[in-house]
């Protein structure tokens, strides 16, 4: 089960074998090559016109205690001899594993092999304390070449030779032609572990390739749904999130339609594994969850709406206070003695009254406009219905 799980979640799988690549080692890959064959067939049935990549990325056979090197001290020659060795293994005429050999070539994008010589006579002994001076120099050189071949060179200024042999082969994991994230990987592992657990605890046999493909499809479609939910939320947070001020309901609806469409389009590009009915179920779940999120955004946005009633009450109080003050001031004002404004008491009193009237009239007009604006969401549709009815009446008369 661990070997199978490693195959499914690894972008670079190192298959550790002893002394040589045997027929039993190839047979261990039979289930996963069968999975790869079924996966390719399913993708071709879904989209026959496009070319699909292999379901697995890289398989490297790592041979311990390899004994077929002509000169173990010549590291370059040893590495170059690995290619012909792998070709001989994969071109074997053994009928029992001929189909597996063919499927290995089809299911993995890259195949490789690397042989490590025996580390030395002192290493296997119980008294060995890890002293590198006891390890064969050829083994150390091959380990260095293998490590840099897999992970890349750590040299600040790599030479041309280092760039050629030590570029690094580990890449991001890709499933269904899409690079997966850490959250995606968790869901794939969860689905695969569940399949292995149910199979081994049920009839005690290894799960079939179709079951594993169904688990991969389930994880892929779930990840597609979650990724687009996150994208929708990120986009809507910029429009009407917690940190945003109150926005009009129409803007929320308009943004929702736009981002819902984008989420569904992106989901359709990612969710390409499994039956169409199962994909449609995840798509419907995505749309339902996005709709529920929209309702939450609308409710939270309503809570940020200014308290119109309290605001208008304060303005009315100010307006009333100004009106009462102007009325009282008017009692103590009398007509001016001169025609021009010469800063006498009557002129100053009249100017103050004029300013007060302008203030409470302005406040009153502002209150009316505020009420109309806040109620437009309810009045607007009624006016549209009324106008539509008036336009329909002449048409009926003409008929």
Residue 218: how many other CB atoms lie within 10 Å: 20
- The pLDDT of residue 396 is above 50: no
The bridge status of strand 178-179 relative to strand 174-175 is: antiparallel
Grade residue 290 by pLDDT with cuts at 50, 70 and 90: very high
DSSP secondary-structure letter at 156? Answer: S
CA atoms within 13 A on the CB side of 240: 25
- 132, 140 contact by CB (below 8 A): yes
Residues 124-163 have pLDDT tens digits of 888 888 888 888 898 998 998 888 888 776 555 555 655 5
pLDDT at residue number 232: 94
β-sheet bridge partners, residue 62: 16, 114
**Average pLDDT for residues 176-201, to the nearest whole number?**
76
Do 116 and 63 contact (CB within 8 A), yes or no? yes
- What pLDDT does residue 166 have? 45
d(CA 193, CA 218): 13
C-alpha to C-alpha distance for 131 and 122, rounded to whole angstroms: 10
Q: What pLDDT was estimated at residue 175?
A: 75
Q: Is the pLDDT reported for residue 92 higher than 90? A: no
Give the model's pLDDT for residue 333: 74
pLDDT, position 225:
92
pLDDT beyond 90 at 289: yes
Q: Supply the mean pLDDT for the chain.
A: 77
- Over residues 270-290, the mean pLDDT reads 87
Q: Is 90 exceeded by the pLDDT of residue 233?
A: yes
In the numeric block, the tokens 């890259």 are attached to 110
The pLDDT of residue 89 is: 82
Q: Is 110 left (phi over 0), alpha (psi -120 to 50) or beta?
A: beta
Most confident of 244-258, 310-324, 346-360: 244-258
Q: Does residue 176 carry a pLDDT above 50?
A: yes
Tokens 């760039």 belong to 163
| pLDDT tier at 382, thresholds 50, 70, 90 | very low
Question: Which of 83-92, 235-244, 278-287 shows the lowest per-residue confidence on average (mean pLDDT)?
Answer: 83-92
378 pLDDT more than 60? no
Longest CA pairwise span in the chain (Å): 127
What are the φ and ψ backbone dihedral angles of 53, each rounded to 5 degrees?
-80, 165
Residue 234: beta bridge partners? none
Give Cα separations from 189 to 12, 173, 186, 226 (angstroms). 16, 13, 5, 16
User: 57-61, 116-120, 195-199: lowest mean pLDDT where?
Assistant: 195-199
- pLDDT for the residue numbered 285: 93
The rounded distance, in Å, linking the Cα atoms of 266 and 288 is 16
pLDDT at 359 over 90: no
| Cβ contact 29:100 at 8 Å | yes
55-88 pLDDT, tens digit per residue, is 788 888 999 998 888 888 888 888 889 888 888 8
Asked if residues 209 and 31 have their Cβ atoms less than 8 Å apart, the reply is yes
**pLDDT on residue 71:** 86
């Amino acid at each position: 089960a661990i070997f199978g799980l490693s195959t499914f979640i690894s972008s670079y799988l190192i298959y550790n074998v002893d002394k040589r690549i045997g027929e039993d080692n190839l047979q261990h890959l039979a289930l996963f090559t069968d999975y790869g064959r079924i996966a390719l067939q399913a993708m071709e049935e879904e989209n026959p016109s496009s070319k699909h990549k292999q379901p697995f990325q890289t398989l490297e056979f790592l041979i311990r205690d390899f004994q077929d090197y002509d000169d173990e001290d010549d590291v370059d020659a040893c590495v170059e001899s690995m290619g012909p060795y792998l070709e001989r293994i994969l071109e074997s005429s053994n009928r029992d594993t001929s189909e597996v050999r063919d499927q290995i070539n089809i299911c993995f994008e890259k195949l490789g092999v690397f042989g490590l010589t025996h580390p030395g006579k002192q290493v296997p002994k119980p008294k060995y304390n890890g002293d590198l001076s006891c390890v064969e120099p050829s083994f150390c050189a091959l380990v260095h070449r293998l490590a840099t071949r897999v992970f890349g060179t750590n040299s600040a200024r790599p030479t041309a030779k280092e760039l050629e042999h030590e570029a690094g082969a580990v890449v991001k994991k890709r499933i269904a032609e899409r690079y997966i994230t850490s959250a995606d990987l968790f869901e794939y592992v969860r689905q695969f572990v569940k399949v292995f657990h149910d199979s081994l605890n049920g009839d005690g046999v290894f799960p079939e390739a179709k079951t594993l493909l169904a688990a991969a499809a389930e994880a892929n479609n779930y990840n597609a749904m979650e990724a687009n939910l996150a994208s929708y939320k990120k986009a809507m947070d910029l429009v009407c999130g917690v940190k945003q001020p109150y926005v009009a309901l129409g803007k929320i609806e308009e943004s929702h339609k736009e981002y819902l469409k984008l989420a569904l389009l992106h989901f359709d590009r990612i969710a390409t594994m499994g039956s169409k009915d199962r994909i449609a179920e995840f798509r419907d779940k995505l749309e339902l969850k996005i709709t529920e999120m929209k309702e939450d955004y609308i409710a939270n946005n309503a809570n940020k709406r200014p308290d119109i009633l309290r605001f208008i009450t304060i303005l009315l109080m100010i307006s009333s206070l100004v009106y009462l003050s102007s009325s009282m001031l008017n009692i103590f004002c009398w007509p001016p003695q001169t025609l021009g404004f010469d800063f006498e008491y009557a002129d100053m009193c009249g100017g103050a009254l004029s300013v007060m009237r302008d203030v409470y009239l302005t406040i009153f007009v502002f209150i009316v406009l505020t009420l109309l604006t806040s109620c437009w969401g309810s009045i607007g549709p009624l006016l549209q219905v009324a106008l539509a009815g008036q336009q329909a009446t002449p048409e009926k008369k003409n008929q």
